[in-house]
Amino acid sequence: MKRRDFITVLGGTVAVWPLASRAQKPRKWRVGFLHPGESSAHLSTRIDAFRDGLGAPGGDAEIVARFANEQLGKLPAMAVELVDQNVEAICAVGPPAVFAARAATRSTPIIALDLESNPVANGWVASLAHPGGNVTGVFLDLPDFKAKSLQFLREAVPTLTKAAVLWHPASGDLQLEAVRKAASALSVTLEVFEVSRTSDFGSTFQAVARAQVGGVLMLSAPLFNSNPQLLADLTLQGRLPAINIFPDFARKGGLVAYGPEIQSLFMQAGVMTRKVLQGAAPAEFPVERPVRFRLVVNLKAARALNVTLPTSVLLSVDETIE
């Protein structure tokens, strides 16, 4: 966080206020931030990126953040609380947060950051080009994306015939359906493991080891984004080649990551929020996609897992961890 800000934490709630007297400066934006995970230093960097996207006067904005601490049932009340505090816009991260925010208000602009669902199918927007309501944002609804992830895992492990899929049910089944189709085309059998909270990871990886799979594919969810180090450690301990959508996974010791740069996505959401606060109508503000994808491989992890990454993967790499 910038030093001019301070954070007060109470019962999963974080509120950020500028230290300087508001009476001495022009009116500052008041923006809600709704997240299903836990308040942490890791998520603080995401808020910093979101603030950077807001720009001036967003740099001095009052960001009223609410974290559900993985208790998704708290999100609806938190969304209502943000509306009651008269925030001018809400950034909602992940499907449960977007559902909660939309249920709380049909007038306050909602800028979603959702890499797991289809906003049209969910009824949040009428179309990607013309949302038609108070919801817009950054969505990753690309059917071929999960197929590409599984393909990278298969190329890294040519003998792969059975893979574990880690899935957070609250993220919806869109990704799961896409990866099942891709697995069928690649003749790979999938075993799906549901993960609902951070405390589930240890027992889940024990179950994955018992299933004798050849690799692990982690679907997108804020839960997985928030725990790259833990997930990387568990895959190495279990000697499991794995791919994750979030580049931090490979940077923290996992084998492969393929997906958008998460810091850039929060900045992108911040830019969209700024445009809305400056007068852009969410109803006519087209939904955006992630603009940059990265393939990151960790060669140290490959050596530890006795995996020889093929030339087809290495030639596509954007970042190599030695």
| Both tokens assigned to 246 | 């979030």
pLDDT recorded at residue 237: 96
pLDDT recorded at residue 291: 81
- Average pLDDT along the chain, 322 residues, taken 10 residues at a time: 38 43 63 93 90 81 94 97 97 97 98 94 96 96 80 92 96 91 94 95 96 95 92 96 94 95 94 96 96 92 94 92 92
pLDDT recorded at residue 60: 77
pLDDT recorded at residue 26: 57
Tell me the pLDDT tens digit for each residue of 228-266: 999 999 999 999 999 999 999 999 999 999 999 999 999
Report the candidate in 230, 174, 237 with the shortest Cα–Cα distance to residue 197: 230
Q: Which residue has the tokens 């500028």?
A: 18
CA atoms within 13 A on the CB side of 78: 31
pLDDT recorded at residue 143: 63
Going through 195-255 in order, the beta strands assigned E by DSSP cover 215-218, 242-244
What angle (nearest 5°) sits at the alpha carbon of residue 226, between those of residues 221 and 232? Answer: 95
Contact assessment for residue 63 and residue 82, using Cβ atoms and an 8 Å cutoff: no
Residues contacting residue 218 through CB under 8 Å, at least 6 positions apart = 165, 166, 224, 231, 242, 243, 244, 245, 249
Which sequence spans correspond to the domains of the chain?
5-140+261-284, 143-260+293-321
pLDDT recorded at residue 27: 67
CATH number 3.40.1350.10 is the correct assignment for the domain at 5-140+261-284: no
CATH number 3.40.50.1220 is the correct assignment for the domain at 143-260+293-321: no
What single string gives the DSSP state of each residue in 297-322? Answer: EEHHHHHHTT----HHHHTT-SEEE-
| Four-point Cα dihedral 316, 318, 319, 322, nearest 10 | 20
Pairwise CA distance, residues 133 & 130, whole Å: 9
Name the helix (H) or strand (E) containing 15: strand 13-18
Residues of the chain above pLDDT 70, percent: 90
pLDDT recorded at residue 312: 87
DSSP, collapsed to helix, strand or coil, labels residue 34 as strand
Residues contacting residue 149 through CB under 8 Å, at least 6 positions apart = 179, 217, 243, 245, 258, 259
Helix axes 262-277, 41-58, angle to 10 degrees: 30
Tell me the pLDDT tens digit for each residue of 53-67: 998 766 678 999 999
Strands 293-298 and 256-260: antiparallel
pLDDT recorded at residue 59: 67
Across the chain, mean pLDDT equals 89
| Both tokens assigned to 318 | 């954007």
* Fold match, 5-140+261-284 / 143-260+293-321: yes
Tell me the pLDDT tens digit for each residue of 78-105: 999 999 999 999 999 999 999 999 999 9
